Amino acid sequence: MAEVTSEQRGRVRVLFLDNPPVNGLGFDLRTGLMAGIEAAMADDDVDAVVIAGAGRMFSGGADITEFNTPKSSAEPFLTQVITAIETSSKPVVAAIHGVSAGGGLELPLGCHYRIAAKGTRLGLPEVNLGILPGAGGTQRMPRLTGVEAALQLIVSGDLVPAEKALALGFVDEVTDGDVVDAGVAAGERLAAGGELRRSSEVEDKIAGARGKPEIFEAFKKSIARKARGYEAPYACIESIENAVNMPFDEGLAAEREIFKRCVSSVQSKALRHAFFAEREAQKIPDVPKDTPKTDVTSAGVIGAGTMGGGIAMNFVNAGIPVTIVEAEQENLDRGLGVIEKNYANTVSKGRLSQDAMDTRMGLITGTTDMNHLAQAEVVIEAVFENMDLKKEIFGALDKICKPGAILASNTSTLDMDEIASATSRPEAVLGTHFFSPANVMKLLENVRAEKTSPETIATVMAMTKKIGKVGVLVGVCDGFVGNRMLYAYSRQAGFLIEEGALPQDVDKVIFDFGFPMGPFAMGDLAGLDVGWRIRQEQEATRPKDLRYSPTADRVCEMGRFGQKTSAGWYRYEDGSRTPVPDPEIEALILSVSEELGIERRAVSDEEILQRCMYPLINEGAKILEEGLAMRASDIDVVWLYGYGFPRYRGGPMFYADTVGVKHVYDTMSALYDEHGEWLKPAPLLKSLAESGKGFGDM
């Protein structure tokens, strides 16, 4: 049960928010806090109140699990508690440590004085959940920091360090010492005299922006690219503009209305789903939290190519030394040179200091001798996709690496069980599938082979977090979860251009849906030759009775491998990454259609979207049936972090629920009748549709 505990320190009452794990401001806590405040106000032995957090933080904000439930709309609302605090005659001090986020910062903003312990992170991250700070944050923050800073803080959702909060003006003091002691001292000081400062009454910092819509228009323009498709950033701006132009109470009431609109939106539900999905993915039923694991403090990477180099950077970015092994000195030097250039670029953009770069480069050891991996706790192989080569490497690693060391492969297509069979320690073998560029993309598909042990999984999932990635545990199949679904989607994109669309038509629909780019532009970015090589290797086993699109192969046969050759599905001007539609490709596509005897027709945007997204969902359903992903939400995490699926749509499986699984199934059935086998609805899709359920109900 959520609680507020209290402690009397002289004539100061300390109220502790106590609702693990993050002191979420749920109904019980709000009720307890209101009672605590009222009791303190009525008590003649109390001159001042301090509010602090029990446990590891002050508060992570409203209890998100209560949203859209009766508890969230039960009184006392957080705004009522905050008003009671702000209007009280006795001083109320917030003594903040750990994290102060969302409602967990709006509460301090209503206090008369705010002290933060060094190391505290504070901010209003509601925008990330598709809402706005709904307990006065958009009204009080600009009054304390001025409009520009409030816009930055609230629309970015960033948590900032205590020192920055002090500089911006929404914290009054930062302490090295015990924050509760400092809070009590401040309470005594304030009680001894002087006027209480109420944030809602501060006007000087917002007065200059009154009646100046151009400030807000300019800010909207500055975020347009990043915020494309999102509603909440604009809701935040609207409410901050209200703070400037309306009296406080009116602004607060308007904030409440905007909050209500946002919290019931599909976008907010999708973003909250994404928040919990990411955390849920870390829970593996047969690998409980207390499974023994090794803290990875040294790593090895085999292969200094694009992937190997990117993977190595993740480790050194997290302060973990890494040894990179490459067969030839020349390739090793080239690979290390690329890493150095990458860091130098970041330094030149001012996003990394030269010192930090030097430290990171200093953590990398390059060698052509695999024996240097003897002490590594984890070794990740990242050579090209060839089973014999990988087995040879794993056999060698097995002999060199210390007992207990984990041997991982960055394969994106090969059978992990077969790779594991080349070692005497299959329990310590698994796949760690990074996404390109490996130092940027947050997803890591950790692939559990048949014999991978719980300890290995626990270690690698923890390592994933340590290197700043989001890990999802998946099973062994061709392409694992992400790429297997990608095949289903890009295959249809290939068919669509043979039937009548052009790459730019497909890409536009997918871009407008919210992806950073469509499948053809993405192919050009990633390099078309990779898929071509894989298709050539798989040619012998390709089912010949199923439709196959030859266009991509033809593009490669023309020597067009994408951006790296300045030509792929599009052409690229020198030094530019902007895809330009190319008449040569259009001619090629038209000739392929003719060759295949397909009469080209107009393809609608709706058909493009459904033909691309529904097979993706359908493949996800098959993956769930086969048990290769633990939950539908894990698949969503894969697509959010590995492929840029628009977060405000929650991921493909959540998206299916929002359009209705029955609708997806009916459309797939019709498409199957028209286009055949590749579009056959998955049995799971059918059963969910027939029972009126969604993936979220599984």
Strand 121-123 with 159-161, pairing: antiparallel
Binding mask 72-101 for ligand CAA (x = CB under 6 A): ------x--------------------x-x
CB atoms near residue 330 (< 10 Å): 10
Residue 71: DSSP 8-state: G
Give the nearer residue to ligand CAA in terms of CB position, either 137 or 475: 137
CA distance 427 to 447: 12
Using CB atoms within 10 A of its CB, is residue 87 exposed (0-12), middle (13-18) or buried (19+)?
Answer: exposed
- Which amino acid, residue 684? L
Under rule CB under 6 A, residue 134 binds ligand CAA = yes
| Phi (first) and psi of residue 672, to 5 degrees | -65, -45
| Contact between residue 171 and residue 122 where contact means Cβ atoms under 8 Å apart | yes
CA distance 404 to 196: 61
Under rule CB under 6 A, residue 322 binds ligand CAA = no
Under rule CB under 6 A, residue 102 binds ligand CAA = yes
The answer, yes or no, to whether the previous bond of 21 is cis (omega within 30 of 0) is yes
CB of 126 to ligand CAA, least distance (A): 5
Query: For ligand CAA, which stretch binds (CB under 6 A), given 10-18, 39-47, 131-139, 602-610?
Result: 131-139
DSSP H or E segment with residue 122: strand 121-123
Under rule CB under 6 A, residue 650 binds ligand CAA = no
Of 12, 24, 52, 443, which lies in the binding site for ligand CAA, with binding defined by CB under 6 A?
A: 24
| 385 flagged as catalytic | no
Site size toward ligand CAA, by CB under 6 A: 24
Under rule CB under 6 A, residue 65 binds ligand CAA = yes
CB of 469 to ligand CAA, least distance (A): 14
| Contact between residue 112 and residue 92 where contact means Cβ atoms under 8 Å apart | yes
Of 36, 110, 133, 303, which lies in the binding site for ligand CAA, with binding defined by CB under 6 A?
A: 133
- Which amino acid, residue 57? M
CB of 273 to ligand CAA, least distance (A): 12
Give the nearer residue to ligand CAA in terms of CB position, either 137 or 681: 137
| 626 flagged as catalytic | no
Catalytic residue among 106, 188, 445, 607: 106
195's CB contacts (< 8 A; 6+ apart) are none
Q: What token pair was written down for 221?
A: 């323009």
Give the nearer residue to ligand CAA in terms of CB position, either 112 or 273: 273
Of 32, 36, 53, 61, which lies in the binding site for ligand CAA, with binding defined by CB under 6 A?
A: 61
Under rule CB under 6 A, residue 260 binds ligand CAA = no
Residue with tokens 């809070």: 183
| Contact between residue 311 and residue 434 where contact means Cβ atoms under 8 Å apart | yes
Of 47, 86, 106, 505, which lies in the binding site for ligand CAA, with binding defined by CB under 6 A?
A: 106
Give the nearer residue to ligand CAA in terms of CB position, either 55 or 169: 55
Query: For ligand CAA, which stretch binds (CB under 6 A), given 61-69, 84-92, 339-347, 478-486?
Result: 61-69
Under rule CB under 6 A, residue 471 binds ligand CAA = no
Give the nearer residue to ligand CAA in terms of CB position, either 66 or 340: 66
Of 1, 21, 350, 540, which lies in the binding site for ligand CAA, with binding defined by CB under 6 A?
A: 21
Using CB atoms within 10 A of its CB, is residue 431 exposed (0-12), middle (13-18) or buried (19+)?
Answer: buried
- Which amino acid, residue 162? A
Of 36, 103, 527, 579, which lies in the binding site for ligand CAA, with binding defined by CB under 6 A?
A: 103
Give the nearer residue to ligand CAA in terms of CB position, either 63 or 188: 63
Give the nearer residue to ligand CAA in terms of CB position, either 240 or 401: 240
User: Minimal CA–CA distance to 411: which of 259, 534, 266, 587?
Assistant: 534
Query: For ligand CAA, which stretch binds (CB under 6 A), given 60-68, 191-199, 440-448, 634-642?
Result: 60-68
Q: Where does 338-460 show beta strands of DSSP type E? A: 364-367, 378-381, 406-409, 429-434, 443-448
Residue with tokens 């077969």: 418
CA distance 413 to 158: 37
Give the nearer residue to ligand CAA in terms of CB position, either 29 or 393: 29
CA distance 272 to 126: 10
Under rule CB under 6 A, residue 126 binds ligand CAA = yes
Residue 308: DSSP 8-state: H
Under rule CB under 6 A, residue 125 binds ligand CAA = yes
Q: What token pair was written down for 136?
A: 């006065």
Under rule CB under 6 A, residue 129 binds ligand CAA = yes
CB of 134 to ligand CAA, least distance (A): 4
Give the nearer residue to ligand CAA in terms of CB position, either 276 or 384: 276
Q: Give the torsion sign (CA, 122, 127, 133, 139).
A: positive
Catalytic residue among 3, 7, 86, 126: 126
DSSP H or E segment with residue 473: strand 470-475
Under rule CB under 6 A, residue 110 binds ligand CAA = no
Q: How many residues does the chain have?
A: 698
Under rule CB under 6 A, residue 153 binds ligand CAA = no
CB of 300 to ligand CAA, least distance (A): 28
Q: Give the torsion sign (CA, 593, 597, 603, 607).
A: negative
CB of 580 to ligand CAA, least distance (A): 41
- The catalytic site residues sit at 106, 126
Query: Which spans of this chain sit near ligand CAA (rule: CB under 6 A)?
Result: 21-22, 24, 60-65, 78, 99, 101-103, 106, 125-126, 129, 133-135, 137, 276, 279
